[in-house]
Amino acid sequence: MNTISLVRAAAQRQTCLTFALIGVPMLRCLLAVLACALTLSPALALQDAPAPEAVETEIITVRAERSGPQLWRISHPEQAGEVYVFITIPWLPASLEWNERPVASVLEEAGEVLTELEVNAGAVSTTRMAAMMLRTVTFNRSRLMMPRGTTLADRVGDDLAAGFYEASAIAEERNERRRALRRAARRGGEDMPSDAVLDEPEEEALAARLASLEPGRMHPFFQAMNLIGKAAESVDLQGSSAIETRVTRLARRNRVPVRAVQSYDLAVSDISALMRSVQDFSRETNETCISEAVTFARSELPTAWMAAQAWARGDVDTLRGFSGRRTGLDCQRAMEGEMGGLRTFGGATTADIDYPGIWAQAIGSSIAGGGVTLAIVGAAGWLAEDGIQARLAAAGYVVEGP
């Protein structure tokens, strides 16, 4: 991949800096920036990266349109404005043609769209920032890679490493089966089957896949993130940033301004600090992050898939049942325990951020300002018993919805 291709690819990955994955802790925003930069550099790919067939970019769309997420309407008896809330969850169906008409209808009248988080590069353009990070990971590869001769087992123990490689093999095998279904559907002129394959591969197939894997040398955190991504992909899930990007594009097409309720200026020094921290994580933190990735791939993937299907159906009751499960935070907490707050986030840690309060204030301000606003909000913060809705109701706002 030449320099021009890298820059173009970097421009297409602007969500790495705006990082719209609702529900993912903020510290991972900058680590996601690094992860995105890594995906642009073939030289830094893990040794167990899939063959060229696996990086096929064609998307097979499920044409059986589903209702999609429902909208809530928030108003106040004494104020003229109204806010419509569109919820997302961390993992959504990748092969889905969802019904965007309700959102498009709101955007026809909206004066603003509110999103959750934006990390700005300041005077440095997104493309230039991505190029800077690419140079950093290219010429400081040792910061991303464990020393030669060091294995994952050395950092997290034999048993956990074995579990990690087994989970990776299962994800790879599921991806291969999904690609086979895609090829068969294309040959038959049919749609890609919408049902994800969640059953584990046969023992013989798994053994063959395990034998083909070679342990990667990247630090455990990056290997953990790689496993989570592969596992989600294996059951046709994608991060919610894709849907938020689609909604914000609809907004801009309607010339509706988009504003993040949390906006931070990227401190370039934080990139170096994060890279140094990842390579110096304690054994306990490495074990926590690898264990969390294995748990997601082996135990939590069915729940993520079911939640994604509920989102696609507009099944709010099911989503409400999932909203109380605050999983995937152990690695975050362990990292923050070693690193503390970052300059980019004003020295704050995740525990310092009053997420419901920030959103309730933003929604209240929009209603007080009059007109129509669309807000893209994480389902966990919106549906939780002590979340954003509760704050708004306590302040006298009327919340109408499913």
Band of pLDDT at residue 192, cut at 50, 70 and 90:
low
Q: Read off the pLDDT of each residue in 132-158 and give the average, rounded to a whole number.
A: 78
| Percent of the chain predicted with pLDDT > 90 | 29
Band of pLDDT at residue 367, cut at 50, 70 and 90:
very high
What does each C-alpha distance from 365 to 80, 374, 377 come to in angstroms? 11, 13, 16
**What number of other Cβ atoms are within 10 A of residue 30's Cβ?**
24
**pLDDT digit string, tens, across residues 318-346:** 888 876 666 667 888 888 888 877 777 77
**pLDDT digit string, tens, across residues 222-247:** 899 889 988 998 888 888 877 888 89
User: CA 312, CA 296: separation in Å to the nearest integer?
Assistant: 21
More confident residue, 310 or 271: 310
User: CA 152, CA 293: separation in Å to the nearest integer?
Assistant: 14
What does each C-alpha distance from 258 to 114, 122, 253, 319, 376 come to in angstroms? 6, 17, 11, 26, 10
Entry pTM: 0.79
What tokens were used for 378?
A: 């994480």
Pick the most confident of 44-48, 51-55, 138-142. Answer: 138-142
